[in-house]
A and B are shown apart, each in its own frame.
Chain A
Amino acid sequence: MNIIVCVKQVPGSNDVKMDKVTNTIIREGIEAIINPFDVYAVEEALKIKDNFGGKITAISMGIPKVVDTLKEVLDLGVNSGVLLSDRAFAGADSLATAYTLSKGINKIGKYDLIICGKQATDGDTAQVGPSLAEKLGIPHTTNVSNIEEVGADFIICNRSTDEGYEVIKIFLPAVITVVKDINVPRLPSIRTLKSAKNAEIFIWNLRDINADKNYTGLKGSPTQVVKTFIPQYDTGTEIFEGTNEEKCNKLALRLLDMKTLFSI
C-alpha cells in the first residue's frame, strides 16, 4: 500500500512572535517540533506498512529547516520525504496550503491513502485535511480514532464524534485525519536509523510542482489573520446576599443587565 503522510513543523512553545505586517507566525530562529498530531499519523502509516507492506512518503510545506522534521520521520521508518519550499508558499492559510500540498502530491503520483493529523497546534483549524481531499477530488473522513480493517481498495475506520463514534467504510484513494491516542507512537530503532541514512528527501519549489502562484502563500489565501491575541479573561467575584429568592432575583437581573440572559 502506498501511503502519503502530511506533516507540519510547528513552534515548540506558545511563545511565538507574529509578523506585524502579515499577521503570520515568524518561524525562523525559533525552536520547532513536529506537530504532535502528525506523530500519530506517521505511526498509523507505519503500522499499516508493518502489516501490509508498501511505501510511505512524508510531505510537508515549509521553510528549509523543515527538512529536520522530515529527517525525524525518516528515522522512524518512513521511506522518503518531500519538502515543498518556496517564498511563494509563505504565509499560506489552510486553503492555500491544501492547494500547494495537492500539487506536490500530484507530482508524487501514485498513492492509496493519505493520512494527516487532525489539526496543527499553531493554527488549530483542522481544515487542511478535508480541503486537501477536495483539491485531489477524493473522499475523506476526519477524527479517525481507530482503523478496523484494511482492504485492497477500502478501509474501515472508527470516526470520533461528540456522541461516540461512527464506523465508516471509505474507498481508496482517500484522505483520513487522525486524532491523538489513536496509537502509541514508536521510537526509532538502530535499524530504522541505519535505513534512514539512505532515504531521500526531495525539495520542490513552485515550478517543480507546477503550482500557480496566485493560489499559493499569502497571495492565495482568501482568509487573512487580522489579529492574534490571548483572550483577556475578566475575573471578579460578586456575591449576592439575601434569602434564596432575593438572591435569584438579583442574579437574574444582573444577567439580563449583562445581556447574558435574554427575556422572552
Chain B
Amino acid sequence: MDNNIKILEDYQIEYLRDESRRVGSANTISFPKTQSEVVNIVLSLVECQSLITIQGARTGITAGAVPEGGHIMNLIKMNKITGLRYDEVKNDFYMMLQPGVLLTDVKKILESKNFDTKNWSQSSIEALEVLKNSGKYFFSPDPTETTASIGGMVACNASGACSFKYGATRKYIEALKVVLVDGNILELKRGKTKANGRNFSVKLNFGKILNGNIPSYNMPNVKNASGYYAKEDMEIIDLFIGSEGTLGIITEIEIKLLSKPAFIYGMTSFFRSEEAALNFVRAVRGDSGEEITKPAALEYFNHNALKLLKSQKLTNPSFNKLPDIHSHYHTAIYTEYHGESKDSTMQMLMDATVFMTSFGGDEGDTWVATNDRDMERLHFFRHATPEAVNLIIDGRRVANPSITKLGTDMAVPDEYLENVINLYNSSVSEEKLESVMFGHIGNNHIHVNIIPKNIEEYHKGKELYNSLAKEVIAMGGTVSAEHGIGKMKTVLLKEMFGDAGIMEMIGLKKLFDPELRLGKGNIFNYS
C-alpha cells in the first residue's frame, strides 16, 4: 500500500460528509500533494479494486463528495498556484493551479498580485510581470460559497449570480490534467481535442489511445449542470467539466481570467406584484429584442422570501443590518451592472430605472450600491434568504431530526418564465406547504425552498419536487442548473434522459473507469 493511504480515524469523521449533510462511509483516506502522489495512490489501489471518492473542499450540496465505502482521496493539500500564462495574440491571461486551491484564494491573489513564484517557470514569471502592469483581473464564476475548491467548481460546473453575464465555470477552463483510475494521465487543452460528430479519440500519456462515443442525447438549451456534457463535435475537455468526480482525478487546471470591470453597481427594486416584477425582468433582459446593456446579474426574491427576511430582522441580531422593506411591496428584483466608466455604468442603472418605474416601482424605494461597502450589504441581502431558511430548518430539526430543507435547482428556457413561476406557486399552494422562492431569474433558474414543519410535509415536499421536475423537463428545462446531480438527484436525471441516456453515460464512464470505481453514486446509480 502507498504510504499516503491511511486508515480513516474516528476524528476524521468530517470527511464522511459535505454540505448536503448526508453522511457516508469509508475505510481509508489520502491527502496527496502532487500529481505523482495521486498516481502512486491510484496504482496502489488497482489491485484491491477499491472504490475512490474524490473530495475538494466538501462545499457541495448534492453529496458528490460523500463516500460510499472504499477510499477517500482528498485533494485539499494540492493547493499551489503553479504558474501564469499570457497570450500576446489574444491579450488574455491564464492561471495554472492545483485542484485544492480555493476560490477565495484566487480572488485574494488577483487583488494583491503577490504570488509565491517558487518553482515557477521563467515564462510564468514573465507573465506575472505583464499581469502586474495590466490592471485588475478576476476569475468570473462567482458561486456564493467562496471556500469552494477550484477542482470542485470544475467537477460540478459551478455558477454564481454573475454567470448570467459571464457564463459558468466551463467557459473558463482552458486545460486540464486528469489522472485516470489506472494511473494513466490524460492532458486536455481547449481547442486541441474535439469529437468528430459523436465519436472521439484521446491519447494518454504513455501513448495508449481511448476511442469512445459521446452520448446521443441533446442537452436542454438552458443553464445546465445535469449529467455529462454531450454535443456534436464537442471539445473533449468539456466531458470532464461537470463530471462530478466520476471520470478521473483532476490534478491540474488552467483557468482563463477576465479583465475586472472598473465599476460594479447594484440596485434592488421593489414591485407591488409578481407580474410587475416578471415584466421588469423581461424588459431588462431585452426579451423584446431591444438593444440594451444586459445586467451582469439578475436575481429574484418572492413575496415569502421578503416576509421571511422581515421576520428574521425582528428576531435575529445577525439580520439587523438588513434595511427595512416596505409592506406594500410584494416581490424584489436585484440587478447588477458592470461597466468601464462611472457614467456608462450609472446610465445602465438609470435605463433599468425607467423600466422599473414603468412597471410601478418607485425611485425612492430602491437600494443602490456604487461602492464596496454598500455592495456587500446588497450581497448580504441576497444570501440572507437561504441563510434564513437554514436557520428555520435547524430549529425544526430539533423536534424532527429527519427533516431537511428541500431546494430545487431547476431552470427552463426563457419563453417559459411565467409558466414555471405559476407552476411553482400553484403547486406549493395546493399542497399547503411553506416555501420561499429566490434565485437567478435571468436564467429562469429559481430555487424553490420548501420548509417542512414535520415529516409528513417533508415527504409531501419530496413528491412535489419530483412532479415539478417532470413538468420542468417537459418545458425543455433541466433538473439541475448549478448544484449538480451528486447522489441526490439521480432519479431526476433518469427522468430527464431516460434509461437509454443513463446507459450511454455509464458506457462513456466505463471507457475511463471500466470497473466503475470512481465517485460511486454520483450522477447515476448502477448495480
Chain A residues at the B interface, C-beta cutoff of 8 Å? 33-34, 39, 72, 75, 181, 184, 186-194
B363 adjacent to chain A (CB < 8 Å) = yes
Is B368 touching A189 in the complex (CB atoms < 8 A)?
Answer: yes
Known pairs A72-B371, A75-B370; A187 contacts B377 (CB<8 A): yes
- A-chain residues with CB within 8 Å of residue B373 when the two chains form the complex: 33-34, 39
Which of B349, B353, B374 is close to A187, meaning CB atoms less than 8 Å apart?
B374
- A-chain residues with CB within 8 Å of residue B421 when the two chains form the complex: none
> How many residues of B are counted as interface, with CB atoms below 8 angstroms from the partner's CB atoms?
23
B395 adjacent to chain A (CB < 8 Å) = no
Q: CB-nearest residue of chain A relative to B322?
A: A184
Is A190 touching B370 in the complex (CB atoms < 8 A)?
Answer: no
Is A186 touching B323 in the complex (CB atoms < 8 A)?
Answer: yes
Known: A188-B370, A189-B366, A191-B363. 11 other contacts (CB 8 A): A39-B373, A186-B323, A187-B323, A187-B374, A187-B377, A189-B364, A189-B365, A189-B368, A190-B364, A190-B368, A191-B366
Is B267 touching A190 in the complex (CB atoms < 8 A)?
Answer: yes
- Please report the C-alpha to C-alpha distance between residue A34 and residue B374 in the assembled complex, in whole angstroms: 12
Is A187 touching B367 in the complex (CB atoms < 8 A)?
Answer: yes
Is A190 touching B378 in the complex (CB atoms < 8 A)?
Answer: no
CB distance from B114 to the nearest CB of A (A): 12
6 A-B residue pairs with Cβ-Cβ distance under 8 Å, sorted by A, are: A33-B373, A184-B322, A189-B364, A190-B366, A191-B366, A192-B364
Is B368 touching A188 in the complex (CB atoms < 8 A)?
Answer: yes
Q: How many A-B residue pairs have CB under 8 A?
A: 47
- Please report the C-alpha to C-alpha distance between residue A194 and residue B364 in the assembled complex, in whole angstroms: 10
Q: Scoring B residues 303 to 339 as 1 if CB is less than 8 Å from chain A, else 0, what string do you get? A: 0000000000000000011111000000000000000
Is A191 touching B364 in the complex (CB atoms < 8 A)?
Answer: yes
CB distance from A145 to the nearest CB of B (A): 14
Is A193 touching B368 in the complex (CB atoms < 8 A)?
Answer: yes
B239 adjacent to chain A (CB < 8 Å) = no
In order of increasing CB-CB distance, the 7 nearest A-B pairs are A190-B363, A187-B367, A191-B364, A191-B363, A188-B368, A190-B366, A189-B366
B202 adjacent to chain A (CB < 8 Å) = no
B369 adjacent to chain A (CB < 8 Å) = yes
Q: CB-nearest residue of chain B relative to A33?
A: B373
Q: CB-nearest residue of chain A relative to B350?
A: A190
- Please report the C-alpha to C-alpha distance between residue A110 and residue B364 in the assembled complex, in whole angstroms: 29
Known pairs A72-B371, A75-B370; A190 contacts B349 (CB<8 A): yes
Q: CB-nearest residue of chain B relative to A12?
A: B372
CB distance from A232 to the nearest CB of B (A): 25
- Please report the C-alpha to C-alpha distance between residue A187 and residue B321 in the assembled complex, in whole angstroms: 11
- B-chain residues with CB within 8 Å of residue A190 when the two chains form the complex: 267, 349-350, 353, 363-364, 366, 368
Q: CB-nearest residue of chain B relative to A31?
A: B372
- A-chain residues with CB within 8 Å of residue B320 when the two chains form the complex: 181, 184
Q: Scoring B residues 281 to 303 as 1 if CB is less than 8 Å from chain A, else 0, what string do you get? A: 00000000000000000000000
- A-chain residues with CB within 8 Å of residue B367 when the two chains form the complex: 187-189
- Please report the C-alpha to C-alpha distance between residue A254 and residue B353 in the assembled complex, in whole angstroms: 70
CB distance from A186 to the nearest CB of B (A): 6
Is A187 touching B371 in the complex (CB atoms < 8 A)?
Answer: no
CB distance from B360 to the nearest CB of A (A): 14
Chain B residues at the A interface, C-beta cutoff of 8 Å? 267, 320-324, 346, 349-350, 353, 363-371, 373-374, 377-378
- Please report the C-alpha to C-alpha distance between residue A191 and residue B321 in the assembled complex, in whole angstroms: 21
- B-chain residues with CB within 8 Å of residue A194 when the two chains form the complex: 363
- A-chain residues with CB within 8 Å of residue B374 when the two chains form the complex: 187-188
- Please report the C-alpha to C-alpha distance between residue A150 and residue B473 in the assembled complex, in whole angstroms: 61
- B-chain residues with CB within 8 Å of residue A184 when the two chains form the complex: 320-324
Most buried by A among B322, B365, B366: B366
- Please report the C-alpha to C-alpha distance between residue A11 and residue B371 in the assembled complex, in whole angstroms: 15
CB distance from B473 to the nearest CB of A (A): 40
Is A187 touching B363 in the complex (CB atoms < 8 A)?
Answer: no
CB distance from B329 to the nearest CB of A (A): 13
- A-chain residues with CB within 8 Å of residue B370 when the two chains form the complex: 75, 188, 193
- Please report the C-alpha to C-alpha distance between residue A72 and residue B349 in the assembled complex, in whole angstroms: 17
- Please report the C-alpha to C-alpha distance between residue A184 and residue B314 in the assembled complex, in whole angstroms: 13
Q: CB-nearest residue of chain B relative to A194?
A: B363
Q: CB-nearest residue of chain B relative to A193?
A: B368
- B-chain residues with CB within 8 Å of residue A192 when the two chains form the complex: 364
CB distance from B264 to the nearest CB of A (A): 15
- A-chain residues with CB within 8 Å of residue B369 when the two chains form the complex: 187-188
- A-chain residues with CB within 8 Å of residue B346 when the two chains form the complex: 193
CB distance from A75 to the nearest CB of B (A): 7
- Please report the C-alpha to C-alpha distance between residue A188 and residue B349 in the assembled complex, in whole angstroms: 13
CB distance from B356 to the nearest CB of A (A): 8
- Please report the C-alpha to C-alpha distance between residue A192 and residue B374 in the assembled complex, in whole angstroms: 14
Q: CB-nearest residue of chain B relative to A184?
A: B321
- Please report the C-alpha to C-alpha distance between residue A194 and residue B369 in the assembled complex, in whole angstroms: 14
Is B378 touching A187 in the complex (CB atoms < 8 A)?
Answer: yes
- Please report the C-alpha to C-alpha distance between residue A141 and residue B373 in the assembled complex, in whole angstroms: 29
- Please report the C-alpha to C-alpha distance between residue A183 and residue B368 in the assembled complex, in whole angstroms: 19
Q: CB-nearest residue of chain A relative to B320?
A: A184
- Please report the C-alpha to C-alpha distance between residue A72 and residue B372 in the assembled complex, in whole angstroms: 12
Q: CB-nearest residue of chain B relative to A188?
A: B368
- Please report the C-alpha to C-alpha distance between residue A201 and residue B378 in the assembled complex, in whole angstroms: 27
CB distance from B321 to the nearest CB of A (A): 6
- A-chain residues with CB within 8 Å of residue B363 when the two chains form the complex: 189-191, 194
- Please report the C-alpha to C-alpha distance between residue A33 and residue B267 in the assembled complex, in whole angstroms: 21
CB distance from A247 to the nearest CB of B (A): 32
CB distance from B299 to the nearest CB of A (A): 16
Most buried by B among A34, A187, A194: A187
CB distance from A156 to the nearest CB of B (A): 24
- A-chain residues with CB within 8 Å of residue B365 when the two chains form the complex: 189
CB distance from A179 to the nearest CB of B (A): 14
- Please report the C-alpha to C-alpha distance between residue A186 and residue B366 in the assembled complex, in whole angstroms: 11
CB distance from A7 to the nearest CB of B (A): 14
Q: CB-nearest residue of chain B relative to A36?
A: B373
- B-chain residues with CB within 8 Å of residue A34 when the two chains form the complex: 373
- Please report the C-alpha to C-alpha distance between residue A190 and residue B346 in the assembled complex, in whole angstroms: 10
- B-chain residues with CB within 8 Å of residue A186 when the two chains form the complex: 323
CB distance from B310 to the nearest CB of A (A): 13
- B-chain residues with CB within 8 Å of residue A187 when the two chains form the complex: 323, 367-369, 374, 377-378
- Please report the C-alpha to C-alpha distance between residue A191 and residue B366 in the assembled complex, in whole angstroms: 8
Q: CB-nearest residue of chain B relative to A76?
A: B374
- Please report the C-alpha to C-alpha distance between residue A75 and residue B367 in the assembled complex, in whole angstroms: 11
